[in-house]
Amino acid sequence: MKDVYRLEDLVSREVLDAGADKPARLAVLGWPVKHSASPRMHQPALDAGGMDVRYIRLEVEPGRIPEAFERMRALGFLGCNVTVPHKLDALENCDEVDGGAKSLGAVNTVVFGGEKTLGFNTDGPGFARAVEEEFGRPLAGLKVVIAGAGGGAGQAIATQCVMLGVPDLLLVNRTVAKLETLAERLGKLGSTTRVATMSFEDGGLAEACRGGELIVNTSSIGLKQGDPPILTSDCLRAGQLVYDCIYAPPVTPLLALAEAAGCRTANGFSMLLHQGALAFQRWFPGTDPLEAMRAGLAQRS
């Protein structure tokens, strides 16, 4: 068995399943994908359910999603998760796309059902569940600030916020042009949410951030050692909720700053967990994989 598979391994069951006790029928697709924690939560859930299925990491080069889907269907895969940078390509290569995924503008969960490839997105709903689990408050009632909103995760979470009707949503990004396009798309969802945009250099940013109840980092800033906090301390006030979508390291520079300011904090572990459970339920309706997944993720390798 391999830690990471490539498309060249999807030539036959003999090659793909060599040395394995279960057939690979689910995968996470990314470039790169070696870091993905998805197998660590999905495999325990599969095993707990007594399913004869193996979940693998599949490294797919940009532009090769159509080939990946074709090979996976030919080998009898049930579906897959899709991560960076393939979520838009996945959306474009599904036969049918769920309304939520269309609104979010990306697909992160695929079901190979019958003759059709079906696309879904569990990122936004998974985030909403994570916020309620971590802070005991529904996302729909919070004034939200999203830092780094121009990327895929930021856009998905922003869309989820608007779909739920949060009262106020502030989008912050280095490049404001990206936000204007997003804000225009959000405006077409027919929500009552008041959407504002700012750059990190805007002089009124600190005051605007302090007016928020939930601050979310959806950028990759904080992932690497030595990264600065994405926001400065004057953007924070005691009692705010601060969620960083990064889960490794568990305490990012933003979360350390927020804890020092008296904020309640949480990292992306819970979002990873909840979006994974929702994806699992797309493949296996009626199942409840959450606790098996939680235990699997707790076994950090």
pLDDT digits (tens, 9 = 90+) for 66-97: 999 999 999 999 999 999 889 989 999 999 99
Q: What is the pLDDT of residue 300?
A: 65
Which fold, 124-270? Rossmann fold (3.40.50)
- Which pTM was predicted? 0.92
Q: In the chain, which ranges are E strands?
A: 5-6, 24-30, 54-59, 79-82, 96-97, 109-113, 116-120, 144-147, 168-173, 194-199, 214-217, 241-244, 264-267
The CATH number of the domain covering residues in 5-121 = 3.40.50.10860
Average pLDDT value for residue range 153-165: 93
pLDDT digits (tens, 9 = 90+) for 173-213: 998 988 998 999 999 998 999 999 999 999 999 999 999 99
Q: What is the pLDDT of residue 100?
A: 87
pLDDT digits (tens, 9 = 90+) for 230-250: 999 999 999 999 999 998 899
Q: Is 102 a catalytic residue?
A: no
**C-beta atoms surrounding 48 within 10 Å:** 16
Query: Left if phi > 0, otherwise alpha if psi is -120 to 50, otherwise beta: which for 43?
Result: alpha
Q: Does 301 have pLDDT greater than 60? A: no
Residues of the chain with CATH 3.40.50.720: 124-270
Percentage, residues of the chain above pLDDT 90: 85
Angle formed at CA 268 by CA 267 and CA 271, multiple of 5 degrees: 130
Residues of the chain with CATH 3.40.50.10860: 5-121
| The token pair that represents 249 in the structure block | 């390291």
pLDDT digits (tens, 9 = 90+) for 101-135: 988 888 999 999 889 999 999 999 999 999 999 99
Query: Catalytic pick from 2, 22, 87, 102?
Result: 87
Average pLDDT value for residue range 31-58: 96
